[in-house]
Amino acid sequence: EAGVVQSPRYKIIEKKQPVAFWCNPISGHNTLYWYLQNLGQGPELLIRYENEEAVDDSQLPKDRFSAERLKGVDSTLKIQPAELGDSAVYLCASSSLAGYNEQFFGPGTRLTVL
């Protein structure tokens, strides 16, 4: 069974440029998460989807971050414009039931903003 797929794996951009990340969850997983992880910290939730509905986006900086999961399967996370402080690893995860079941993570996208 294929795991969570993310692309790109690495991205280097200059500040003020836009960037987008893509995630394809495990087949059949209705819940999809986007996390941000800084070095030495745990993952911080940005947004959680149940199918195509964003049910928790309280931690998403909506002035520059946006996300979508139009058909309830794969998802994109966008930053526009990127700032130096956005440099981090962006992790996508999926699970079959929010909050109670194991989350499966993709390999992440390591973003560097110069």
Judged by CB under 8 A, the residue of 20, 26, 45, 54 near other proteins is: 45
Rule CB under 8 A: say whether 91 interacts with other proteins.
Answer: yes
Q: Name which of residues 7 to 26 contact other proteins (CB under 8 A).
A: none
Residue 23 in contact with residue 106, Cβ under 8 Å? Answer: yes
Q: How far is CA 82 from CA 5, 10, 39, in A?
A: 23, 15, 18
107 sits near other proteins (criterion: CB under 8 A): yes
Q: What's the min distance (Å) between Cβ of 7 and other proteins? A: 14
The whole-angstrom separation of Cα 97 and Cα 7 is 24
Residue from 1, 2, 41, 63 binding other proteins (CB under 8 A): 41
